[in-house]
Structure formats: C-alpha cells, structure tokens
Chain A
C-alpha cells in the first residue's frame, strides 16, 4: 500500500499557537500542499517550529488538522530583525488570510523564499520586495492585471490616469493611478512616487480579497 505521508517536504511555519500544555497548532506553508494546519505534540519545546526557519516535514493523518511525523531543519533561521521582521510577519499574514487550506500553490514557494532571503540581507528597499511578492501572490491567485496594457488591450500611457477594476484590470479614468508610475512598476524603475503608488495600488488590489478585517501587520510600520 502506498504510504502517502512518507515524503519529507519543504515547509515554513506561518503561525504557531500554543495548544494544551506543550503542543502547538501550526499554520504551515508547504511546497506540495499549500497552506495547512497541523498539530505538533510537544511542539513548544521544539525550537525549530518557528516562523522564518526553513524546515523539512513529514505529515500523517487526514482532514483539517494533520500531525507532524518528523521535522528537520533545512537551514539556519533567517535573521530577520526590526522592520525586516515586520515585513516577514506581513507576508505570513497575507498567506494566512488569502490562501485556502490544502490548496497547493507550488508557484508561490519560490517568491516566498526569495522575499524572505532578501529581507534577511537587510536591503534598503524592503517595500519593493513586498510589492514583488504581492504581485506574485495576486498572479498565483488568479487576480493579476496587466501593468503595460489597459482593459481594452491598449498600451498604458504615461500621461493618462487609470482606475483598477478587479475584473477587468486598469481602465482609463479622469483621475486615479498615474500611468507614469504604473509603467515604472512594469519596468522595475522604482522611483519614490512609483513606490508610493505601487503600495497604494496593490493595497487596493488586495482589499477585495481580504474582506472587511484590516491586516494587523500594517499597524507595525509606524
């Protein structure tokens, strides 16, 4: 009989919550299974079971909450400190809020890991890393929109302003997002006002999928 729980797979802890005396309920992001919930018995004494540490795990069981059969460290914990740590928490909150459990997103693992690794190297443009990740996430969830063409397929123009229609994409409008900044995003030319527009545009693009509850991690950035 095939042992479905037998393979070690890459997984990251998104969130750990104490459960009973010494256990943890974990929200994980794994390469093969997407976001999943597991119970780690005695997990509060296992220092690996923290966010931002690459792990290899083997799971057992079925249903909503699986059990962890084996955990191995797959590298050193990422040294996220200060704002980089807030950024990491923001990524994790996004994944918990936007991914359904047991819905695999293999295409999202590489951007997630790349973003965390870049945050750990203390780059100055942390916001640009977050924008790239938000774009990858929207794309993976099927909510992406073109930054070079408007909803009719016409090329974006620097002097035009646009509004974002969640279904159609960018639509020319009398006021709204400036075309110059949108083209800057598409070209990877992150001038100050492009960064500001990108932050607000992607916040607006994510909003309909997040529902009415605001993201708490945004409050950390003072």
Chain B
C-alpha cells in the first residue's frame, strides 16, 4: 500500500530520530494521526520553537537560548574552573551528581578522525582562545576513557602545556572503555572527588 504524500512525508521525517526505522516511524505517524492530534500539534510547535530558539552558548557550546547558557551566566559558579565534556548529556549527568560548581566546555563530539572529527570540529580552537585569554585557571577533563576520549584529553593537555592552567582528570570509578553516560551518579560523584592532576 502506498501512503498519501503528507502521511509519507511525516513517516520519512520521523526516521531522522536515532533508532527509528521506517516501521517505528509509521507506528508513530499513525498513532498521532489516529489517536493524538493534539499531541501531534504540540510536538510540531515544540519542534519548531526549539529548532529556532535553541542555539549554542558562545562560551561553552552547550545548548542555550541566549548568547550564554544559564550555567555560564551564573555568577555563583566558578567561571574560571572548566570541566570539558563530550556532550550536553554529560553536563546533565555531572549536574545530577551535585559535586561540581564550575562551568563546562562542551565539545559536542570527541577527536575521532574516522568520523571526520578533528580539533576544530569539536571547538578546541575556541577552548584554546579562552586559555590564551587567561579566562581559565583550571581544566577538569571528563571526556571518558574511550580511545577518542583519551586522544581528546591528551590534545587538551598539549594545548595547556606552558600556561598557568592546572589540569586534572576525573578517573577513579569510570570504567576503562566506558562512555560517561553509562556511569551511575554515585560513581560519577566519587570520580569527581578523586580527580587527580595529570
């Protein structure tokens, strides 16, 4: 059976979601059209506003709805202490651990040549400018212990070399080869307390 153009368009659009193939996309489209028109309308509005209104914080690259994100705007946090993470999900995980009062730098990726991710693609030129400008006194590396995380940490260590910035790395408790998002909050809190200079 062929879908009408609008239905087919909706199904195709849902397949842009991670883990959603044509079959689940069809289920989602049918569900909204058959049973939840109101929810579908909300979804459409929320998508449009978020896609228009959410951008990257100009200081830390995390999601923001203004020039700076709420964390970078928060004067009670230590803005010279910077925790470097791969993704906004890592920021959330660390915020939940309740252990950290500095700000972040969100790479939105890791050094991964085969994926086309080099230093510039993950904003390391921007981080280097902030280091050179003297805005940063301490960097905490929380890039995970995958090969890409290790390479990213080493590259940042190279950038900091010869400056007054101190560097530490969360390590304890994070499993080798582990992605940060699979680490539970308690482990993460422990890892933060146990960070060591490198």
A and B held together in a complex = yes
Task: Indicate if A15 sits at the interface (CB-CB under 8 A).
Answer: yes
Q: Shortest beta-carbon distance, B154 to chain A, in Å? A: 5
For B151, what are the chain A residues with a Cβ–Cβ distance below 8 Å?
A: 85-86, 89, 220
Main secondary structure of the interface of A (DSSP, over half): mixed
A residues 1-51 with Cβ under 8 Å of B?
A: 14-18, 20-21, 27, 44-45, 47-51
Closest residue on chain A to residue B120 by CB atoms? A219
Complexed CA–CA distance, A215 and B120 (Å): 14
Q: Are A96 and B182 in contact (CB under 8 A)?
A: no
Task: Indicate if A63 sits at the interface (CB-CB under 8 A).
Answer: no
Q: Return the 8 tightest CB-CB contacts between A and B, nearest first.
A: A47-B177, A216-B113, A217-B113, A219-B118, A216-B118, A15-B114, A20-B19, A93-B113
Q: Shortest beta-carbon distance, A49 to chain B, in Å? A: 8
| 8 Å CB contact of B114 from A21, A27, A52 | A27
Given A44-B179, A47-B175, A81-B154: A220 and B115 interface contact (C-beta under 8 Å)? no
Given A44-B182, A220-B119: A50 and B154 interface contact (C-beta under 8 Å)? no
Q: Shortest beta-carbon distance, A93 to chain B, in Å? A: 5
- Size category of the B interface is 20 to 34
Report B's interface with A, CB cutoff 8 A.
18-19, 111-120, 146-147, 150-151, 154-155, 158, 175-179, 182
Complexed CA–CA distance, A77 and B147 (Å): 11
Closest residue on chain B to residue A23 by CB atoms? B19
Q: Shortest beta-carbon distance, B139 to chain A, in Å? A: 17
Closest residue on chain B to residue A49 by CB atoms? B177
A/B interface sample: 6 pairs, CB < 8 A = A49-B177, A52-B147, A86-B154, A88-B147, A92-B114, A220-B113
Task: Indicate if A62 sits at the interface (CB-CB under 8 A).
Answer: no
